[in-house]
Amino acid sequence: MSELLQDSPRDPQVSRLYREFSTAEPSAALDQRVLAAARTALADRSKSVRSQGWWQRWRTPLALTTTLALSLTLALLHERQPGPVPVERAVDRQLPDVRRDAPGTKAVEQAKPELPAAPAAAPAAATVAIPAAAPANSQPETKARVARPSLAVGEHDARAGSQVAAEQASPVVADYQARSAAPAAAPAVAPAEAKRESLPASPAAKSKGGVAGAVDEARLDNAVTPTPAMRESAAALGKLRAEVPRSPAAWLEEIRALMREGKAEEAARQLREFRRTHPDYPLPEEFRQ
């Protein structure tokens, strides 16, 4: 740069002389005219902006805001839109209808107050409800299969579910379930199976010493005595259990039930299988020994 400046022809004496005597300046009037023109130009601009009106001034930000809001709404709707109906939801939805429709279920409800009739009514519920569920719903085969065990032990779901829910409330378990989507896919079915497992094994003696009067659900369950039909349905349920994925909590509940029933060998086998299937699942204290 300095080379370029040095390259430029210069004559300091001529420059000094020129600057010393060339002092002409525009008149004040000319200055005023120019400055007034500049201010007028600015005033015209602001006036034109003001005269644009509300719509012209705000249409761009308004359009942008609307577009943004629409996009956000669509994105949220798309996110919340249900995909394929999960198995447990299908079960939940089918359950009340099937209960209402199935004659076997009605029989159970009617039999509740009459304790002696319970042993007969309960197997009926177990056997009749299964075929009743299929025609009642036009769901795919898998959903129907899932629905059957739930129907059979529908009355036990709430209690088993509450136990499982307590277990699932643990942060470690919740974390595990968040990581493993598959076991969590059937939380409603698995508790039902847990109770189903204990159903045929319930001591019938309790029902013999049953008290007349108000009978709660537990007594009704205990009143069930294993019959050939019930064994058959239990076998079918066992088959179904193998097909339907169980949640870890429900599985543990099953193992617990086996231990309570004194089936230590079966419980140990189930526990080994459980450990193989869910190696990361935190085991409750009772299973660690």
Nearer to another protein, 25 or 141 (CB): 25
When the beta carbons of 57 and 239 are compared against another protein, the nearer one is 57
The distance between the two most distant Cα atoms of the chain, rounded to a whole number of Å, is 132
CA angle 126/128/131 to nearest 5° reads 110
285 vs 114: CA distance, rounded Å: 41
DSSP state for residue 223 in the 8-state scheme: T
Minimum Å distance from CB 20 to another protein? 8
Considering beta carbons, is residue 4 or 169 the nearer one to another protein? 4
Site for another protein in 86-145 (CB under 8 A): none
Cβ 30 to another protein shortest distance, Å: 6
DSSP 279: T
Instruction: Name the minimum Å distance from CB 31 to another protein.
Output: 7
Per-residue mark of binding to another protein, 17-36 (x: CB under 8 A): xxx-xxxxxxx--xx-xxx-
Q: Please list, residue by residue across 134-170, b when 16 or more beta carbons sit within 10 angstroms of its beta carbon and e when fewer do.
A: eebbebeeebbbbbbbbbbbbbbbeebbebbeebbee
Q: What is the DSSP string of 33-85?
A: HHHHHHHHHHHHHHHHHHTTHHHHHHHHHHHHHHHHHHHHHHHHHHHHS--SP
Which CB, 15 or 71, lies closer to another protein?
15
Contact 274, 255 (CB under 8 A): yes
Quick one: which of 2, 3, 5, 54 contacts another protein (CB under 8 A)? Answer: 5
Residue 105, token pair as written in the block: 């279920």
Write down the least CB distance from residue 35 to another protein, Å.
Answer: 6
Binding flag, residue 179, another protein (CB under 8 A):
no
- What is the smallest separation between the CB atom of 40 and another protein, expressed in angstroms? 9
Q: Looking only at residues 44 through 73 of this chain, which bind another protein when binding is defined by CB under 8 A?
A: 45-46
Q: How far is CA 2 from the centre of its chain?
A: 73
Binding region for another protein (CB under 8 A):
4-5, 7-11, 13-15, 17-19, 21-27, 30-31, 33-35, 37-39, 41-42, 45-46
